[in-house]
Amino acid sequence: MEGESVRRVLARLGGFVTTVMMATTVSAQYPPGATASPQSPPVFTTRLPPAPFLGSVPAGTPTAEPLTLTLLDAINRALDHNLGGLLADDARGRAAGARWRALGAMLPDVAGRVTATRQMIDLAAYGFPLPEGIPAIVGPFNLFDARVYGSMPLYDLRAINDLRTEQHNVAAAAHTYQSARELVVLVAANAYLQALASAARAESARAQSDTAQALFNQATDLRQNGVVAGIEVLRAEVEVNTERLRVTVSQNEFEKAKLQLARIIGLPVGQVFTLVSELPNVPIPDLTLESALERAYRMRPDYLAVLERVKAAETARAAAAGDMLPSLHLNADYGELVASTSSHSTFAVVGALNVPIFQGGKRGKLMEADADLRSRRAEADDLKAGIYYDVKTAFMDLQATGEQLQVATRAREVAQTALTQSRDRFAAGVTNNVEVVQAQEAVSRANEQYINALYLYNVDKALLARNLGDAEQAVRRYLGGSR
């Protein structure tokens, strides 16, 4: 059952990791500035290589006292220290830097230069006709020049559209960063819920071990009184050993889940912590499919980022077309020219109209820009359709896991009642302890089904929030408060 729940969560969460990783890949292909479970690791690592969202940058030093960690604490720590979120923030900074570089092509470029020269010139070598008596060699003499140079584009359609492209890339990077934060929330919440599920399994195993020990003691007493045969004691002893093994395995899985959680949220290495086992039962918002879709199209940051990348591709195509059109530039310089015996201020102002006549290679850039634009539009259309399926699937999954939780709750109660009745019949000598062992196994299965159902139901709450585009706040409301 545990493996089945992991596979189900894998199918639901894998797409979100892929979306964010795809945004990172797209940003790497653009010009500079373009952007774009007790065993929770298998939820992600079986779908794609180890993602940065499973790592973190640990901060602080471990304390001697155990740290009490709520779900809200885990989310806040993950937002501050998770590696995936930090890398997305760095990508946003790179996009801002690329925008400044594009803006620099639209601003005046001013530079200063100071030169000192000592030279001798042969005028005859340069073809100057010199009257008789005038020496052909001039100098040596000193020349000192202090000058300021300036240039700026007056009209350059390529530079204008390059700047617009980077502005859209900055907006896309901001949305991608927000999408990464939502994914961090989802990953941290899933890891915390998986740890809680592991803790519940460990607690259930300990309870079953205690029950098995009580049955063994009961069988021993009945055997001493001659009520039951010795085989009943042996069966009870085997069940005790089986349940003790389950306790060991489930406790190890719980500790592994805690280690994975600590890795994701950036706890200090070696920090001991405990979990708060109770989650608030927050009702799901009463939304129709149509209103949920409208909210998702308006708020989901991954979709907003894709739309910005479409706009960036459109302006990049316009920039490629503008590269084949005339541009107007202004160049000027002003300075002081000091010779051996004189000093003068000099300047020059040049207006240049650059007219491309034949630039065959620029046509290739335009073709590349057209292909990029088609790709970005296709990605936007695909994601818009995917949002519809995501939202509708989230509604169906939440309804199904809600019903599954109700059934599992009732099944657990029935199994516990059946175990109590079997123990009473065994104590009265009406039946042997085979029935008791089977009833105890039924309780164990019912507990496992209940734990899985509760875990999946809470995960589906988080996934619904992510599909609606408000995971960072909604997950907190659904699972852990509102801070």
Q: Which fold has domain 108-155+325-358?
A: Outer membrane efflux proteins (OEP) (2.20.200)
Q: Going along 340-415, which residue ranges are E strands? A: 343-354
Q: How far is CA 321 from CA 191, 312, 316, 355, 366, in A?
A: 49, 14, 9, 14, 6
Report which residue type is found at 29.
Q
Query: Is the distance from CB of 180 to CB of 84 less than 8 angstroms?
Result: yes
Domain range summary for the chain, segments of one domain joined by +: 2-106+156-324+361-480, 108-155+325-358
pTM of the shown model: 0.77
Residues near 86 by Cβ (< 8 Å), separated by ≥ 6?
A: 57
Quote the pLDDT of residue 334. Answer: 93
User: How many C-beta atoms lie closer than 10 Å to residue 95's C-beta?
Assistant: 27
Per residue of the chain (483 residues), give pLDDT as tens: 455 555 555 455 555 554 444 444 444 333 333 333 333 333 333 344 347 888 899 988 888 899 998 888 899 999 999 999 999 999 999 999 999 999 988 889 999 999 998 888 887 777 777 777 777 787 788 888 899 999 999 888 889 999 999 999 999 999 999 999 988 988 988 898 888 888 888 888 888 888 888 888 888 887 887 776 788 788 888 888 988 998 999 999 999 999 999 999 999 998 999 988 776 666 676 788 889 899 999 999 999 999 999 999 999 999 988 888 888 999 999 998 887 777 888 899 999 998 888 777 777 888 889 999 999 999 999 999 999 999 999 889 988 988 998 999 999 899 889 888 887 887 777 777 678 778 878 888 888 888 888 888 888 888 888 888 888 877 766 665 544
Quote the pLDDT of residue 370. Answer: 92
- Measured in residues, the chain has a length of 483
**Architecture of the 2-106+156-324+361-480 domain:** Up-down Bundle (1.20)
Closest by CA position to 327, among listed 159, 139, 131: 159
Quote the pLDDT of residue 309. Answer: 95
Domains 2-106+156-324+361-480 and 108-155+325-358 share a fold: no
Structure tokens at 170: 């900055």
Helices (H), 225-359: 230-265, 289-299, 301-322
- What is d(CA 135, CA 153) in angstroms, rounded to the nearest whole number? 46
Q: How far is CA 230 from CA 133, 214, 235, in A?
A: 139, 16, 9
Structure tokens at 193: 């819920």
Quote the pLDDT of residue 280. Answer: 63
